[in-house]
Each structure stands twice: as structure tokens, then as C-alpha cells.
Amino acid sequence: MVRRTIIGLLVCLLVGAWITPALAQSGGPPQQATVHIVQRGETLFSIAQRYGLTVDSVTHSNGIPDPRQIYVGQRIVIIGGEIEDGVLGTAPYVVEVGDTLSSISRRYNTTWQSLARINGLLSPNSLYAGQVIQVPDLGASADVLVASEDTGARPLVGGGALYTARSDDTLFHVALRYSVSPWALASASRVVNPALIYPGQELVIPNTEPGLLPAPFIFVEVQPLPVAQGMPMVVAVHTKEPVALEGRLFSQDIRFVEEGGVYYGLAGVHALAESGLYQLELTAVDDQERRTTITTGIVVQDGRFGYERIDLSGGQNNLLDPAVIAAERERLNSLRSTFTPERHWTAPLQRPCAGVISSYFGTRRAYSDGPYTSYHSGVDFRAPTGTPVLAPAGGTVMLADPLTVRGNAVVIDHGWGLLTGYWHLSEINVQVGQHLAPGDLIGRVGSTGLSTGAHLHWEVWVGGVSVDGIRWLEESYLAPKYEWRAVGG
């Protein structure tokens, strides 16, 4: 199974690599190409119609096996279509936390209205962090539009301006008109609810740069974006001063730790989470107990998992008893929320044992003749019984016991909400409370519990959610961006 993780600004390179083969296959003179990002409610027919193309041509250009199966956030190459607004060349841009259509349009010397039309945005509020939109290619010959209007605001002594809201105004539209962050406008105007402004209300237009977050926030970065089902995420927050930071995503709290002047929080996307847009909420509390909250959208994409059926022997079917499964799950759930502020791991993690991968994370599963009602919550390494299982990072042993379904099991707390689990061991070589270093022996591969052969089931929890552990073994996933080389604590 091919898994593709799109990380931050690498999206631009991936899109470029994707467009090139499509152009090479066309033959004849080069045709103009752009990339369309599928929005909610769109179909391949509506996309083809928008660009004056046929469904067959778009399907062929992109190698889409089933025209009925497209998903929100999918990138579709448009070859030879009609580009709107007179913009002769476009390029992909990854929306960052704090971006507005106004701030992006100023950067590319166009208007927010033009960007909205190019990308088919139904509302200026539809931007979210990690979204890929099309912007004018400044290296191409393009006719760009420059905003010019009489805003009607009155200058204020000391900078900024005072604006009186009209009946058709919204706070977002006023912010766009003056090229300021909606957060900055709401804060300067002391607007409690940004969704409620009224005609005649006086708004203070701050003298600030577009796209800035309200103090004490300086910059927020979420990696990777967009994020797929079953993937781990990192939220990095830069502030002007020390704060107590709170986060909320997927109806779960994100706990933050300060390291090197940056606040880091780990979160996991459940493998069964619905694809779509979710709200990330961050609240900073300063030493005066003042609370500042910002929100942004996080898009979750389809993880594209496979399917597998597992045949059990007659003696193992009793292990599927719902009561047995529930009792064991309850015991493990009591450990999932463990959070220690000391980080005992570095990125990437070390491989826990030798052997080939026999089953990937997220695979939808059915047992014997039953339906596909579960998913694989870890990664299986097939190896002979007795193969050493080693700690992939430093940490503290939280569990070291035989379980009914998972067999001989070990759980390690590595800090910052990162925990790893090891199931079906033939023997356990650690005890609860023991402190481990990377490479220490945990146990040995076996086939205890609900298992059909010798293997290690390796599970990774982030913020209490099972995520794809393979990502933590990849050099490119987190380490180059955040350089978590030295272990803190």
C-alpha cells in the first residue's frame, strides 16, 4: 500500500511533480495547466463544467479510476481549461494559521475578490490552515488586479482609524477591506462576539500588518497539513511572553509543553474520524489572567486504508467475546491519557524490532466470516519467536502484564503524551516503573493472545489516540522541522 504524507510547504513540490507527467503525456504543444482543489459539495462533473472540459478528459488526465469517487482536498490537474479573471498562470499556496484572503492577496498583488473567484470560494470565511489555494504565478505573464477603494475611515491620533459599521458589514469583510487580521480588529474594537456587529457600531482599525495574530500570539504552525486519518500532528505556538496555553481539537484537549521558547502540543487523528473540516482552538492566559483565544480550521483527509480478513481457529473465537474485549480496553484506556511534561524521546524513533511489516496501521479488519467492524490499531512486524523487542526511545514502563486478547503486553510512557505499546510477546523483560533508554530490551516476539502467528504488534498513542507508528520512524516526518534531537527533562 502506498502512503503519501503531505507536509507543509512540500505540497508545492509534490504538486509540481504531479503536473509534469500529465503534461508529458499530452503530446503536441504544451497546454496550460493548473491544479483544482476539490471543495465540499463538488463533483467531477461540476469541476469539468467549470473549466469547459469533459469528465472523460479530466478523468484521463488524472488517472481517476472511478469519477464518482473524489474527496474534499483532492488535487485535480486541469489541462487546457479556461482560467478565470485573466490570470494566465497560477501556483499553489498553502494557507497558514492567521492568513486571510486579504493578506494573501496583498502578497501576490491582487484582490481578495479575485482570489475568491479563482478558487471558487463561496465565502471569505472558508479559508482554513493547510488549505491549498491557487494564487497568481508572479513569474508568469499575468494581468493582476490591485485593490483601490475609498474606505471611509477616520484617522486616529497615534495611528489606526475609526470606522462606522454599515448595515451590510460583517467584521470579516471590514477586516478584509482594511487588510488587517480579523482577530486584531476584534481585539482593538473590544468586540466580544465577532459574529455580531451592528450598524453604527464604531470599530477601531489597528495600525498593524495583515495576517498577524492577536497578542500574545506571534505565530502558530500545525504539521502536517492537510492531515490524514490516523496521523499524528504537532501544534507549535510562538508567543511574545510566557503564557499558560490551552488547546482543543476533535473534542479533546491538547496539552502543551514549553521548550526552547516554543510551546509544543501533540495530537492524534483517529483512524475512523470523518474527513472534513475541524476547529482548532487555542487559548493563551498571561500573568494577568487575561485570556486570548484564536481558532482556525484543520482539514482531515481520507487515510485510504486497505482491508484484510483474519481466519481464527475455533479455540480463539472466545477471545472475541465483547465482555472480554471491553474489560481489556477499559484497562488500557486508563493509561492512554497519561501525560508527563518531560520529553524522553527524539525524532525519529528507533525501529522496535527486526522483521517485515505484515499489516499496516488503519487496515479495516474482519474476523473469520464476520463483517468489517474494526481496524488495525498498530503496525505488525513479522519475526521469529524470540526476536528481541527494543525500546524505540527513552521512557518509563506503565504496564507489563499478560492480557487476554493482546497477550503479554508492555506500555511505555515517553513523555509529552507519546506512549507506545507492545502486544503478543513471548516473554516480558521489564517491570512497571522501570526507566528505559533507547535500545533497551523490552521483551521478545511471540504469538500470545489473539494472534495467528509470531509477530510484534506495535502501537503508538498520541494524546490518547492510536496513530500510525510508521510516521514516527521516518526521518522526514518531524525531525527536520523541529530538530528534536536532544532529549529534554
Mean pLDDT of 254-272: 93
Paired residues of 238 in beta bridges: 219
- List C-alpha distances in Å: 160 to 105, 217, 386, 434: 21, 20, 71, 59
What does the alpha-carbon distance between residue 443 and residue 418 come to, in Å, rounded to a whole number? 20
Quote the pLDDT of residue 91.
Answer: 73
- Per residue, the 3-state secondary structure of 129-186, as one string, reads ECCEEEEECCCCCCCCCCCCCCCCCEECCCCCEEEECCCCCCHHHHHHHCCCCHHHHH
Q: Burial of 475 by CB count in 10 Å (0-12 exposed, 13-18 middle, 19+ buried)?
A: exposed
Q: Which residue has the higher pLDDT, 430 or 177?
A: 430
pLDDT in tens, 157-181: 445 677 788 877 777 777 766 667 6
pLDDT in tens, 397-429: 999 999 989 999 999 999 999 999 999 999 999
Nearest to 378 by CA among 420, 407, 321, 338: 420
**Is it the case that residue 209 has pLDDT exceeding 60?**
no
pLDDT in tens, 100-119: 777 787 777 777 767 777 77
Beta-sheet strands, E only, within 1-48: 33-37
Q: Which residue has the higher pLDDT, 135 or 362?
A: 362
What does the alpha-carbon distance between residue 448 and residue 408 come to, in Å, rounded to a whole number? 6
Nearest to 402 by CA among 428, 375, 372: 428
What does the alpha-carbon distance between residue 248 and residue 289 come to, in Å, rounded to a whole number? 19
pTM as predicted: 0.61
Contact 50, 43 (CB under 8 A): no
Question: Going by C-beta distance under 8 Å and a sequence separation of 6 or more, which residues neighbour residue 347?
Answer: 472, 477, 478, 479, 482, 484
**Is it the case that residue 317 has pLDDT exceeding 80?**
no
Q: Which residue has the higher pLDDT, 176 or 231?
A: 231
To the nearest whole percent, how much of the chain has pLDDT over 90?
A: 33
Per-residue pLDDT band for 154 (boundaries 50, 70, 90) equals low
Cβ neighbours of 192 (radius 10 Å): 7
- List C-alpha distances in Å: 474 to 296, 348, 358, 439, 482: 28, 6, 18, 17, 14
Domains parsed from the chain with CATH numbers: 10-136 (3.10.350.10), 154-205 (3.10.350.10), 217-301 (2.60.40.10), 307-482 (2.70.70.10)
Mean pLDDT of 113-140: 68
Over the chain, what is the mean pLDDT?
A: 77
Mean pLDDT of 430-456: 95
Mean pLDDT of 353-382: 87
pLDDT in tens, 37-96: 676 667 887 787 777 777 777 887 777 877 777 876 677 777 765 544 444 466 777 777
Question: Going by C-beta distance under 8 Å and a sequence separation of 6 or more, which residues neighbour residue 285?
Answer: 243, 244, 245, 246, 291
Contact 284, 235 (CB under 8 A): no
DSSP character string of 257-301: EEETTEEEEEEE--TTPPSEEEEEEEEEE-TT--EEEEEEEEEEE
Q: Which residue has the higher pLDDT, 437 or 223?
A: 437
Nearest to 418 by CA among 474, 482, 461: 461
Mapped onto helix, strand or coil, the DSSP state of residue 308 is strand
Q: Which residue has the higher pLDDT, 381 or 312?
A: 381
